Structure formats: C-alpha cells, structure tokens
Amino acid sequence: MYIAHLSLTDFRNYAGVELPLEPGVTVFVGQNGQGKTNLVEAVGYLATLGSHRVPNDGPLVRSGATRSIVRGDVVRDGRHALIEIEITPGRSNRARLNRAPVSRTRDVLGVLRTVLFAPEDLALVKGDPDTRRRFLDELLVARTPRLAGVRQDYERVLRQRNTLLKTAAQASAGALRTLDAWDAHLARLGGELLAARLATVEVLQPLVAKAYAHVSPAQEEARIDYRSGVELGDATTAAALADKLTDALAERRSDELRRGVSLVGPHRDDLLLSLGEFPAKGYASHGESWSMALAVRLAAYDLLCGDGGEPVLILDDVFAELDSARRSRLATLVAGAEQVLVTAAVPEDVPPQLTGVRHVVAEGEVRRVG
C-alpha cells in the first residue's frame, strides 16, 4: 500500500499543507526544527491513532488552533481509501473513512499500516519494558484491529482495580469483595491479550533473527522472547492463560493489597531481546543495540507484509544515527518496499540506494526539488 496524498491542517507547525506522494522512495530534507518529522508523524498517526513522539495529543495541534485535521489518501491494490482524523486534545477524536463518519475512531485502524523507524527506537533495546510492550501491542493491533478494544478495556479494568487497591486500606469489606469481580475481568481480558502477544512473538522470533543477520552479518544470533511475570507453563489459548492469571491473582492478593497496585497481568510483562547468550540491554554495544532495534522493526515490517498489505515504511532521521555499513545495509533492505518515506537533516546521510523524489522542508513549507 502507499499514501497518494497527505493533507494537514493546523498540525504541529503546519497551518495547511497539501502533499501529493508517490510509491517508491520519497526523501524529505531540511534543517532541524523545520517540520520533516511532523510530516511522517502525521502519517504514523493515521495508522496508529497515536504519535511516536508524544504520549498525548496536545502538542500535535498548532499553537493557537483548537484542533488539527490529518487526511491521507491510501491506495491499496489499486483502491483508494480516504482517512480523515480530527484531533481535538482533551476530547475524543473524530474520524471519517471515505467521507463517511465511523462510529468509533478505532474503526480506521488497519486501513493504513506503517512501520516507523525513529531515533526513539533505541529505547526498544535500552529503554523500559513499557516501550517494548507498546511496540508489541501496536503490532497486535495492526494485525488484528479488534485487539485495540481488548487493550483499551484491559487498561480500564486495570485503572478501576488499581483505584480499588489504592483505597483498600479505607475500603469496607463489601468494597473489597468487588475485587473478585475485577479479577475475573482482568483475567479474561489479560488472557486474550497474552494469547495474542505470545502468538505474535512466536512468528516474530525467526524474523528478528533473520533481520539481525542481514543488518549485522556474521555475528551472534538475535532472539526475542516473551517474559511474563506469571508462570504460564505451556498455556497458549486465551482461556488457559486466563486460568493462569486467575491462579496468580489469588496467590498475590495479599501483596497487591499491601502495595496498593496490580502486580499480576500482561501490563507487568516484557520482551527479552538477546544476542547469543546475553540480553541486549546492558550487554550490547551502541552499534549492536542499533542493529537490534532495526532488526525488531524490520521483523515487524516482514510480519505485516506476510499478513497481506505491505505497510508504508517510514525512516525518520535514522540514518544520522547509524554507521556507514549499517546505513547501507538498511538502505538495501528497504529499497524495494512499495513506499518509503525518509527524513534527513543532511542529504548526504541518505545512502545512494534510496533514490527517488526529494522535497525540501523549510519553515512549514514543503517544496519538491527532484
């Protein structure tokens, strides 16, 4: 798939921009702070309904405006689909698909799929578990949009349950009895989420190993494994995993009451990325960590391609972070993708394999130069 047209109104530093795009490679060059990343951030928003840079929508709206509008014309197998999202911070967003309002914004998920590489990706290897959980969950949702609802419901049950645990000291015996009811729903939704995560990691595993071997040839094998705080045994179905969670919740009940927070469930899990014998976090060099981060993203890209509908690849400022060998291998790997959007502050950072359309971005204006 590819985006044929991107249109922004009051998004970040853009008052209004209309940007026709083509399949193949498109490079946006311009100095820092001119709005290159904002363009690809908007494309990512159409795909995931979230920004890869900020956790909430406030900064996405141009200062002085109350809402932004992002529009993208997505072409898949020759068919056009127009996604429009109106972002109003503090309120729920509104979305339209082919000019018809959708009942829930998340109904537009899955229309456009992207895989975005950004300098922030290093946190996949070096950062906290929540970065890796978010990566995995976004991948689940891209593959199975229904899981966006499961994920949302799980978060809500978790918030309700944490509030209950936090106030447990003052709560009446009756209020504490409701904990069993929340446990039941935490286990049900958690089981569903866990089943999807485990299945995804299983298919991701060989793809990560393969991608790492391409990015960093002749080095140790890269692995990705799911690490759950709960002993899962060989359970793989949602129902069996829910049972495991139920047992673990019963076991940790007194700990949870004492600490006032939910200690059991997929929100406590992590992905273990390792190179050979060692975990990448703490052991891998800077270069190896980058290779690992790229391998994880490339594997996600591979996975989504396999599911049908090749995603749009976005490389946001990543070449500046890589040495020339990694740069050139990455460029070779992605050059054949249906659409690649690249941003770079220094044109020379973009490897010669990635030839295509060039735009110069300056002061909120985008100008095609070749």
Residue ranges that bind other proteins, judged by CB under 8 A: 103-104, 107, 145-146, 149, 153, 156-157, 159-161, 163-164, 167, 171-172, 174-175, 177-178, 180-182, 184-185
Report the nearest approach of other proteins to the CB of residue 261 (Å). Answer: 13
Is 184 buried (19+), middle (13-18) or exposed (0-12) by CB count in 10 A? middle
Closer CB to other proteins, 28 or 182, in the complex: 182
Closer CB to other proteins, 13 or 162, in the complex: 162
The SS3 call for residue 29 is strand
Structure tokens at 217: 């040839």
Closer CB to other proteins, 31 or 167, in the complex: 167
Report the nearest approach of other proteins to the CB of residue 47 (Å). Answer: 19
- Cβ within 8 Å of residue 325, ≥6 positions away: none
Report the nearest approach of other proteins to the CB of residue 165 (Å). Answer: 9
- Token look-up 């109104």 returns 9
Closer CB to other proteins, 86 or 120, in the complex: 86
- Cβ within 8 Å of residue 328, ≥6 positions away: 351, 353
How many angstroms separate the CA atoms of 117 and 320, rounded?
Answer: 12
- Token look-up 């709560």 returns 171
| Amino acid residing at 53 | R
Closer CB to other proteins, 42 or 150, in the complex: 150
CA atoms 152, 156, 161, 163: torsion sign? positive
How many angstroms separate the CA atoms of 370 and 349, rounded?
Answer: 17
Structure tokens at 203: 């298919």
Report the nearest approach of other proteins to the CB of residue 283 (Å). Answer: 41
Report the nearest approach of other proteins to the CB of residue 174 (Å). Answer: 5
**Kind and range of the H or E element at 139?**
helix 129-143
Closer CB to other proteins, 174 or 282, in the complex: 174
**Kind and range of the H or E element at 296?**
helix 286-306
Q: How many residues does the chain have?
A: 370
Report the nearest approach of other proteins to the CB of residue 194 (Å). Answer: 17
Report the nearest approach of other proteins to the CB of residue 6 (Å). Answer: 28
Closer CB to other proteins, 107 or 220, in the complex: 107
The SS3 call for residue 214 is helix
Report the nearest approach of other proteins to the CB of residue 167 (Å). Answer: 7
Task: Report angle CA 68, 73, 79 to the nearest 5 degrees.
Answer: 155
Report the nearest approach of other proteins to the CB of residue 171 (Å). Answer: 7
Paired with 27 in beta bridges are: 342, 358
Closer CB to other proteins, 162 or 353, in the complex: 162
Residue 282: how many other CB atoms lie within 10 Å:
9
Closer CB to other proteins, 39 or 157, in the complex: 157
How many angstroms separate the CA atoms of 20 and 343, rounded?
Answer: 16
